[in-house]
């Protein structure tokens, strides 16, 4: 039983890894990427109507993996699910009462370390593109084998369990925001996942209803059309457009007008 639908990808990855041709290992990396994506999509689907369908339709796999890692903090722990058909007394049961019952196991959820999965997923992507020298990197076969083993264990799950420890909100651009425990506590910033928006928010847990407030930023528009924010304390430091990956910087000009003087002088600095 493979509830996540990743076994076909794993079988092909294993076949590619069995080859002594290192270039075949690149195709193994591709199949493993597919397996990580399939696992993430299946897990999100298990939330049903608690998460909007737009996440699957519009969000990229990396964003979904990040989402799952943010609000499913116990996902790396395996769990078994059992049920008892024995009659119980009509009173509050003690721990000893529960332990004395006979149970039938009906499902097991293997641990899913979503943070590790996301790191592995992004690392695999580096082997699927040419670098600036028009060369491609060859993945390490042993590291790929470790990822195959991780996903093979996940494929043995006989139950899919979701932890609904999150809240939702909406960005000014209209994008749906999913907030996990760390975001709701205010200890972690909330990022709009739309690459052309990139607005930042912080939750206000001390306020009634825990509203989110936009973090003040200076933003410019990249030639590609994306909104690129600069934190106030890093105005003179260059940054990278999250959409097209171009390097950008702000140029700040100071105009000095001496009191009572008609002429102006100026100095400038740029980042």
Closest C-alpha among 141, 178, 208, 183 to residue 59? 178
pLDDT at 35: 97
Lowest mean pLDDT segment, chosen from 8-12, 139-143, 157-161, 245-249: 245-249
Q: Counting runs of H as helices and runs of E as strands, what totals does the chain give?
A: 8, 13
CA dihedral 218, 170, 245, 63 (to 10 degrees): 140
pLDDT in tens, 34-75: 999 999 999 988 887 777 766 766 678 888 888 888 777 778
Helix axis angle, 61-71 relative to 22-45, nearest 10°?
60
Share of the chain above pLDDT 70, in %: 89
pTM value is: 0.69
pLDDT at 107 over 60: yes
Mapped onto helix, strand or coil, the DSSP state of residue 165 is coil
| Mean pLDDT, rounded, for 116-142 | 88
pLDDT at 7: 96
Lowest mean pLDDT segment, chosen from 48-52, 83-87, 128-132, 164-168: 48-52
CA dihedral 192, 247, 223, 267 (to 10 degrees): 110
| Mean pLDDT, rounded, for 125-154 | 89
Q: Which residue has the higher pLDDT, 142 or 246?
A: 142
How sure is the predictor about 270, in pLDDT bands with cuts at 50, 70 and 90?
A: very low
**Cβ atoms 192, 175 nearer than 8 A:** yes
CA atoms within 13 A on the CB side of 246: 12
> CB under 8 Å to 143, separation ≥6 — which residues?
none
CA distances 43 to 13, 21, 40, 98, 200, Å, are 22, 34, 5, 30, 26
Helix axis angle, 22-45 relative to 141-154, nearest 10°?
30
pLDDT in tens, 200-218: 898 998 888 888 988 877 7
| Mean pLDDT, rounded, for 146-165 | 89
What is the distance of C-alpha 24 from the center of its chain? 28
**Cβ atoms 139, 26 nearer than 8 A:** yes
pLDDT at 265 over 60: no
Q: How far apart are CA 164 and CA 212, in angstroms?
A: 20
* Mean pLDDT over each residue of the chain, to the nearest integer: 84
Share of the chain above pLDDT 90, in %: 27
Q: How far apart are CA 19 and CA 259, in angstroms?
A: 78
pLDDT at 29: 96
What is the distance of C-alpha 5 from the center of its chain? 20
pLDDT at 269: 44
Q: Which residue has the higher pLDDT, 262 or 153?
A: 153
Mapped onto helix, strand or coil, the DSSP state of residue 41 is helix
pLDDT at 200: 86
pLDDT at 132: 75
- Residue 270 Ramachandran class (φ > 0 left, ψ -120 to 50 alpha, else beta): beta
How sure is the predictor about 233, in pLDDT bands with cuts at 50, 70 and 90?
A: low
pLDDT at 69: 82
Residues in the chain: 271
pLDDT at 168: 82
pLDDT at 268 over 50: no
DSSP 92: P
């Amino acid at each position: 039983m493979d509830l996540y639908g990743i076994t076909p990808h794993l079988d092909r990855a294993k076949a590619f890894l069995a080859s002594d041709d290192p270039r075949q290992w690149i195709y193994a990396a591709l199949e493993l990427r597919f397996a990580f994506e399939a696992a993430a999509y299946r897990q999100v689907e298990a939330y049903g109507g608690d998460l909007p369908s737009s996440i699957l339709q519009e969000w990229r796999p990396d964003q979904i993996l990040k989402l799952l890692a943010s609000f499913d903090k116990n996902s790396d722990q395996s769990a078994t699910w059992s049920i008892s058909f024995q009659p119980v007394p009509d009173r509050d049961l003690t721990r000893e009462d529960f332990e004395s019952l006979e149970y039938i196991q009906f499902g097991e959820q293997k641990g899913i370390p979503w943070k590790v999965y996301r790191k592995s997923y992004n690392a695999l992507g580096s082997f699927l593109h040419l670098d600036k020298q028009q060369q491609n990197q060859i993945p390490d076969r042993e590291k790929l084998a470790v990822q195959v083993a991780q996903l093979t264990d996940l494929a043995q799950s006989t139950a899919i369990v979701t932890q609904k420890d999150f809240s939702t909100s909406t960005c000014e651009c209209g994008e749906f925001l999913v907030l996990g425990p760390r975001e709701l506590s205010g200890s972690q910033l909330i990022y709009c996942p739309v690459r052309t928006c990139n607005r930042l928010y912080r939750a206000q847990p001390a306020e009634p209803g825990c509203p989110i407030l936009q973090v003040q930023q200076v933003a410019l528009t990249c030639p590609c059309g994306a909104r690129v924010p600069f934190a106030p304390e890093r105005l003179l430091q260059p940054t990278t457009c999250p959409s097209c990956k171009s390097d950008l910087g702000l140029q700040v000009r100071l105009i000095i007008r001496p009191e009572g003087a008609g002429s102006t002088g100026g100095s400038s600095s740029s980042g």
